[in-house]
Amino acid sequence: MALIFPKSTDKYVKIGGGVVGLLVLGGISAYAYFTLPQVMDTGYSPQQPVAYSHKLHAGNLGMDCYYCHNTVYKAAYSAIPPTETCMNCHVRVKPQSERLLKVRESYATGESIPWVKIHKLPDYVYFNHSAHINAGVSCVTCHGRVDQMAEVKQFAPLNMGWCLDCHRNPAPNLRPVELVTKLSWTPDRDPAEIGREIIAAKHINPPTNCSGCHR
């Protein structure tokens, strides 16, 4: 019986199968890599309804983070400042600026400005801002130098591995509580040494078990 295909066809089928297999494997690997939090979330910087510059306010003008985010020392969540906080200054500072139109409208109507959340954690993760701030973890550790950001972006991956790295060795990320919002602070000695002293004084022992963050 005559062959429908020449014997050399087997070789090409095997080569073709190998190529397809490699392409599929490469696609799966690429998907796995590009959906990692370090890749997908770090650097995220959505357009906000009002072009608020942290570099201007926290950097150039030296406004303390606590003035706007005034719940970080006592609550699990870092408050988004109400429009009234903005207008404490802007009833006098650039009160007719076109860039502040939505701020003035919000103040007049009582409707909140629809700020876009940047730093997001899954619903199954419990995170308490006050616990970290009062332990001496600076805003810089998780959010970077926002006082140098005209547009805030996500600085750290905020994934489980990143959090556990700090919980297992918190000393380098600790500073005196009164300096947690001093973003430009530079330690005059090894920051880990300072952190170890704080750990000893406050008996800090971050949880590394699952229930510490998944409740």
Q: Is residue 87 part of a domain?
A: no
Predicted pLDDT at 26: 63
Q: Which residue has the tokens 């700090």?
A: 166
- Which two three-digit tokens encode residue 25? 């494997």
Length of the chain: 215
Q: Is residue 93 part of a domain?
A: no
Predicted pLDDT at 195: 98
d(CA 24, CA 18): 10
Domain enclosing residue 208, as ranges: 41-80+115-212
Helix (H, G, I), strand (E, B) or coil at 105: helix
Predicted pLDDT at 10: 64
Q: Is residue 90 part of a domain?
A: no
Predicted pLDDT at 68: 96
* Count of CA atoms in the C-beta half-sphere (13 A) of 5: 7
Q: Is residue 168 part of a domain?
A: yes
Q: Is residue 125 part of a domain?
A: yes
d(CA 36, CA 146): 23
Predicted pLDDT at 40: 56
pTM greater than the 0.85 cutoff? no
What total number of domains does the chain contain?
Answer: 1
Predicted pLDDT at 13: 59
Predicted pLDDT at 210: 95
Q: Is residue 200 part of a domain?
A: yes
Question: Any residues with CB less than 8 A from the CB of 93 and at least 6 apart, and which?
Answer: none
Predicted pLDDT at 25: 72
* pLDDT tens-digit readout, 119-168: 989 899 999 999 999 999 999 999 999 999 999 999 999 999 999 999 99
Report the chain (215 residues): mean pLDDT per 10 consecutive residues.
Answer: 60 65 65 52 92 97 95 93 96 96 97 94 93 97 97 94 96 97 96 98 96 93
d(CA 73, CA 181): 11
Q: Is residue 158 part of a domain?
A: yes
Q: Is residue 3 part of a domain?
A: no
